[in-house]
Structure 1
Amino acid sequence: MFKKMYSCYNTKMGLFRFFASTILVLFLLSSCSFHSTDAFDPLDPNGNITIKWDVISWAPDGYVAVVTMYNFQQYRHIQAPGWSLGWTWAKKEVIWTMMGGQTTEQGDCSKYKGNIPHCCKKDPTVVDMLPGTPYNQQIANCCKGGVINSWGQDPANAVSSFQISVGAAGTTNKTVRVPKNFTLKAPGPGYTCGPAKIVKPTKFVSADGRRVTQAMMTWNVTCTYSQFLAQKTPTCCVSLSSFYNDTIVPCPTCTCGCQSNGTQRGSCVDVFINYFLLKLHCSPETPHLASVVSDHGKNNYVPLVQCTKHMCPIRIHWHVKLNYKEYWRVKITITNFNYRMNYTQWNLVVQHPNFDNLTTLFSFNYKSLTPYGSINDTAMLWGVKFYNDLLMQAGPSGNVQSELLFRKDASTFTFEKGWAFPHRIYFNGDNCVMPPPDAYPYLPNAGSRWEVSLITLVVTLIASMAVVLTYI
């Protein structure tokens, strides 16, 4: 009897181990599968950077090509210090000359006598030329210091190109081999590039539109962005408040990191003391701020942030400001806590169900994004040129503000259960951390109807427009 019981016990334990190991294997497989979807952006599902390599002519030992990068992302820029593009040659190719770009290293060209190639490395890295490059070294869409704007915000400047003369490469479509292992840094990690794929040769139309030519050969490379690969910690956070509740919901503590303890100094700067000491030309208590101001002639893009509980370079504050009879009003404030960055041509992407009823926007530009087809619940906002398109470094001028006026939709509008707050906010393409929903300012049980007369609305609108027109 005991043997039977022991045998039954062993059988049950064996089944338990089998199912447990099966579940563990399935979990590991599913965890691995997440990596392929990391780059998917639900608010820009088709966003990518496409690199097009057009062979435009043959040379005695290779070819001349124009390499063009198209930033098809709706709201994600490539910011300073710009992109760098790398690959591995399939054979023993060299780069004889370049226009509009240059490699970071020449490599070992000792076997060449007389005419020395521009680059002999097996795995070259190319960067854009700087503005002010001599005209005879430029081509169209080059020489912007590697900065490429997003397609949705500035399509005219969402392209970057360089020309390359390749030797030891083959001189026909059958002998040329496409490069491998493309990498794109913009300016840091975050992008993953697929393999080069040969496509139909690109057709070019002459300036007068009367002649069409085509490339000898064309291949494309597609690169997609993942915030998880770009940085280990978030870069922005969201705080909330409302007129109907005194509670201000801050960014969660340690959202983008925590202040260092006594043994690890230098993670942040105490803004108030050091800022006024610098203004008075005194020696700041914290040497890090002085080094940021002088910078010793070098650009440093590692964030140095103001000491806060959240430690984020950027904070977005969403304030439900007023409630009218037929409208409601929101104030958005973007604050820069980073001493090392002026954010040029910044943008904000906000998802909220009432954007289909947006009536007026002050001092920001607006573009509707419809990532799900006909549903208009996502907006891209950015600054007015020469007014607030530059978000200054941390300090008194390090913020921009705007107000949004929405028409109420009787079927959906409510201040209850956090409906008035956004579902999601991106800054410069990075998803910002929201407070937990249970912490949102709640609507009091009594006195929930806060309305402002139409006259007050009109006066406020006129005053706001006057302020904007004064600065434009």
Structure 2
Amino acid sequence: MRAKKLMGWQALFIVVLVSVTYHFTLTEGQDYDFDGDKKKAAAPPPEENNCNGIFLSYVFISREKEFPHLKNATAQAWAFKSVATILNAGEKDLKAWKMYIGFQHKEILVSAGGAVIMDGDDLPAFVGNGTYLSGYPQADLKTAIETAGDLTQIQAEIQLEGTQFGLKPPAVPMPKTIRLVNDGFKCPAATRKGSSVFVCCVTDPKFKANITKTKYMPRQNGDLTIVYDVLQAFEGNYLAQVTMDNNHPLGRLDHWNLTWEWMNGEFIYSMRGAYTHKRDYSECIYGPAGKYYKDTDFTPVMNCEKKPVIADLPPERKDDEKVGKLPYCCKNGTLVPTTMDPSKARAIFQLQVFKTPPNMNRTAFFPPQKWKINGVLNPDYKCAPPIRVMPTEFPDTTGLDAYSTAVASWQVVCNITRPKEKASRCCVSFSAFYNDSVIPCNTCACGCKDTDTCNQNASPLLLPPEALLVPFINREEKAKAWAKMKHRTLPKVLPCGDNCGVSMNWHINSDYRKGWTARVTLFNWEDINFEDWFAAIEMKVAYPGYENIYSFNATKLPQVKNTIFFQGLEGLAYLMGEVNGTNPQTDPRVPGKQQSVISFRKKHTPGINIVKGDGFPSKVYFNGEECSLPKVFPTGAAHKSHTNLLPVIFLTIITFVLMTDHLS
């Protein structure tokens, strides 16, 4: 009986224990659910609360060692995560925000959620020298005043992931600085605290902004401006027009190719005034478009690529009823400066864009991002992200004093970038009448392949003048013979060629008391012809003395300092391509060539010294591309000795006369 009673108490004890444990567990679970599974956000720095402007911050979150694991700490790769934040803590809206992050540890950016790289580079991108980011899709930041402090409208967060090298733990890989790069703001030096860096940028009272009464950004200036206009809007699709204007006096594009990236599943149904290089609709059938447009025949579709490559139509399609009949279209991809021909400085094409869910509303527009444009032997352009601008106005086509406006407009600004060393597309050689050797184009002036066995860092070998007329592969024997004749030592591994498609020889032809002349020769080593070519030279010292150029049309450019612009005469505007020699089996190929003499007066340039380099251009452009220049000038020992011999002879005669008088 007692045993049963004891067992009863034991059972009761177990029940109570289970009940208490269950209650405790339930209480813990309820607390956990109430708090949420997210870690509480760190309190913002007090500087944020005191900022009356734009507050930017960068917070390093974590990193993890990547393969391969190396003993060399500086070569070790680390995967990192960080967050950049931009907060509008001011009293005015911030339009099209732009932020600079000064990365400094050979970073490679793999993803940037909430932003795009401003120069249009694709990810992954090397950003070890710093990078500029702009907001997408949230490009504008409103104020707390007009949004009741809604962080989703006044703040943008950029989730950054990438790879950095070196700087092993416990050191923290932080950027040098961060700053806002919008006009009208000034930023002090950024402050670093532990694994975060921040700065408060305020409006610059000295900045004079153009006063606009619209909610859109004012249109910007640039070397090449592109406007993306929505002309007609429908449920699920819209008609857009792209207008490109060449604004640079030396900018140019030949056979341009334009590309961008659709961000929301759009595709091009049809085009007028241009076409895409690829007409493959498989990406529509197997992508989001195919799921929505189930009963649509995609065979007439122009292009379904996320990154279409668009080109201009040839002139013979200009009056085509289906794809032509647009002003400024169909010039075979040629955009020249207004100084040459204003009618060829603009290009226009239209496209019918189909959208995919959830952006089917007729007022939902998302312009493509990551714009890029290039041409054949033309300058490199870097394009900023599109910014929303005031809708474009179009004059009435019937001649009435009226205008219509686009539904919506965005502007893309592209600027010419100076070519890096060994990355040009044209080059220059120097020669002079007072030196029998030619200084050729720089080694690898237009790049070299990693597999080349020649010396990519050696100085080019001096050449006899006739060697300029043959391709580089046929110059080696001439260069060796010339070096032997001049008693010059040859390197064990000969230097590589220039690998340029176009070259110019600048030859000092004469130098006399009242003036001097130079001979300009253009060589085309490509297979293609250059129609309506142009070139330009910057003459820092000799510019005021320019007199004439005899076989080209030339003019001084007031917009570009000390620059003379020239092009072929009417009927001679073709720079022909390279062709076979008389006997292709034995003779080298022959480049296309054009030549002229240019003359200068010394009256307006007193003290000019031709031999020391004043007679050579400091910059040369061909079709807008800045060419690589030699690093030295032809020496003028013979020329100088001829000049300095006169006072020596005069002094000798005077001495002889005086001695004769003394002896007599």
TM-score of the aligned structures, taking structure 2 as reference length: 0.49
1:48-63 aligned within 5 A: 48-63=223-238
**Which letter maps to 1:78?**
L
1:14-33 aligned within 5 A: 32-33=128-129
Does residue 270 of structure 2 align to residue 97 of structure 1? yes
Aligned to 2:592: 398
Aligned to 1:349: 536
- Cα distance in 1 between the residues matched to 2:543 and 2:225: 30
- Cα distance in 2 between the residues matched to 1:356 and 1:193: 35
Aligned to 1:454: none
- Out of 170, 186, 201, the residue aligned to residue 375 of structure 2 is 186
Specify whether residues 219 and 332 from structure 1 end up closer, same or farther in structure 2 by C-alpha distance, changes over 3 A only. Answer: same
Aligned to 2:316: 132
- Cα distance in 1 between the residues matched to 2:425 and 2:635: 21
Q: Which runs of 5+ in 1 are unaligned?
A: 1-24, 37-45, 273-306, 451-472
The alpha carbon displacement at 1:200 in A equals 1.0
Aligned to 2:501: 313
CA contact (8 A) 2:552 2:566 kept: yes
**Which structure is larger by alpha-carbon Rg, 1 or 2?**
2
**Which letter maps to 1:144?**
K
Which digits, 9 at most, give the CA deviation of each residue in 1:44-103, with x for residues without a partner? xx75222111112222433212111222233232223x31322223x3434333212233
Does residue 609 of structure 2 align to residue 435 of structure 1? no
The alpha carbon displacement at 1:28 in A equals 7.4
The alpha carbon displacement at 1:157 in A equals 1.0
**Which letter maps to 1:177?**
F
The alpha carbon displacement at 1:142 in A equals 2.1
Aligned to 1:424: 619
Specify whether residues 248 and 93 from structure 1 end up closer, same or farther in structure 2 by C-alpha distance, changes over 3 A only. Answer: closer
Aligned to 2:163: none
Secondary structure of 2:639 counterpart: coil
The alpha carbon displacement at 1:348 in A equals 1.5
Aligned to 1:43: none
Aligned to 1:378: 563
Aligned to 2:93: none
- Cα distance in 2 between the residues matched to 1:119 and 1:445: 66
The alpha carbon displacement at 1:32 in A equals 4.7
**Which letter maps to 1:356?**
P
- Cα distance in 1 between the residues matched to 2:131 and 2:236: 41
The alpha carbon displacement at 1:158 in A equals 1.9
Aligned to 1:239: 429
CA contact (8 A) 1:95 1:164 kept: yes
**Which letter maps to 1:58?**
A
Secondary structure of 1:436 counterpart: coil
Worse-matched range after superposition: 422-431 or 196-205: 422-431
- Cα distance in 1 between the residues matched to 2:131 and 2:517: 40
- Cα distance in 2 between the residues matched to 1:388 and 1:443: 38
Secondary structure of 1:349 counterpart: strand
1:259-338 aligned within 5 A: 270=474, 309-338=497-526
Does residue 393 of structure 2 align to residue 198 of structure 1? no
The alpha carbon displacement at 1:165 in A equals 1.8
Specify whether residues 108 and 310 from structure 1 end up closer, same or farther in structure 2 by C-alpha distance, changes over 3 A only. Answer: closer
- Cα distance in 2 between the residues matched to 1:65 and 1:244: 60
- Cα distance in 2 between the residues matched to 1:233 and 1:380: 23
The alpha carbon displacement at 1:384 in A equals 1.5
Secondary structure of 1:444 counterpart: helix
Does residue 610 of structure 2 align to residue 415 of structure 1? yes
Which digits, 9 at most, give the CA deviation of each residue in 1:340-391, with x for residues without a partner? 232222222211132233221212122323456xx4x112222123124334
- Out of 237, 241, 246, the residue aligned to residue 71 of structure 1 is 246
CA contact (8 A) 1:355 1:378 kept: yes
CA contact (8 A) 1:235 1:432 kept: yes
CA contact (8 A) 1:347 1:383 kept: yes
- Cα distance in 2 between the residues matched to 1:418 and 1:183: 38
- Cα distance in 1 between the residues matched to 2:130 and 2:340: 30
CA contact (8 A) 1:238 1:318 kept: yes
- Cα distance in 2 between the residues matched to 1:238 and 1:194: 31
Specify whether residues 358 and 221 from structure 1 end up closer, same or farther in structure 2 by C-alpha distance, changes over 3 A only. Answer: same
- Cα distance in 1 between the residues matched to 2:500 and 2:231: 47
**Which letter maps to 1:427?**
F
Aligned to 1:83: 257
CA contact (8 A) 2:260 2:369 kept: no
Does residue 284 of structure 2 align to residue 108 of structure 1? yes
Aligned to 2:586: none
- Out of 574, 579, 602, the residue aligned to residue 389 of structure 1 is 574
Specify whether residues 120 and 425 from structure 1 end up closer, same or farther in structure 2 by C-alpha distance, changes over 3 A only. Answer: closer
Specify whether residues 315 and 443 from structure 1 end up closer, same or farther in structure 2 by C-alpha distance, changes over 3 A only. Answer: farther
Specify whether residues 183 and 115 from structure 1 end up closer, same or farther in structure 2 by C-alpha distance, changes over 3 A only. Answer: same
Secondary structure of 1:417 counterpart: helix
The alpha carbon displacement at 1:402 in A equals 1.0
Secondary structure of 2:414 counterpart: strand
Worse-matched range after superposition: 389-398 or 55-64: 389-398
- Out of 207, 221, 229, the residue aligned to residue 412 of structure 2 is 221
Which digits, 9 at most, give the CA deviation of each residue in 1:230-285, with x for residues without a partner? x96433322222234444333345544679669xxxx975499xxxxxxxxxxxxx
**Which letter maps to 1:129?**
L
CA contact (8 A) 1:247 1:441 kept: no
The alpha carbon displacement at 1:192 in A equals 2.8
- Cα distance in 1 between the residues matched to 2:606 and 2:505: 27
Q: Which runs of 5+ in 2 are unaligned?
A: 1-102, 108-126, 133-220, 455-470, 477-494, 580-588, 646-664
**Which letter maps to 1:127?**
A
Specify whether residues 407 and 66 from structure 1 end up closer, same or farther in structure 2 by C-alpha distance, changes over 3 A only. Answer: same
TM-score of the aligned structures, taking structure 1 as reference length: 0.67
Specify whether residues 268 and 252 from structure 1 end up closer, same or farther in structure 2 by C-alpha distance, changes over 3 A only. Answer: closer
CA contact (8 A) 2:253 2:374 kept: no
CA contact (8 A) 1:170 1:176 kept: no
RMSD: 3.7
- Cα distance in 2 between the residues matched to 1:360 and 1:438: 23
Aligned to 2:402: 211
- Cα distance in 2 between the residues matched to 1:125 and 1:256: 25
Greater RCO, 1 or 2 (C-alpha within 8 Å, sep 6+): 1
- Cα distance in 1 between the residues matched to 2:223 and 2:341: 15
Worse-matched range after superposition: 355-364 or 196-205: 355-364
Does residue 319 of structure 2 align to residue 145 of structure 1? no
- Cα distance in 2 between the residues matched to 1:35 and 1:250: 37
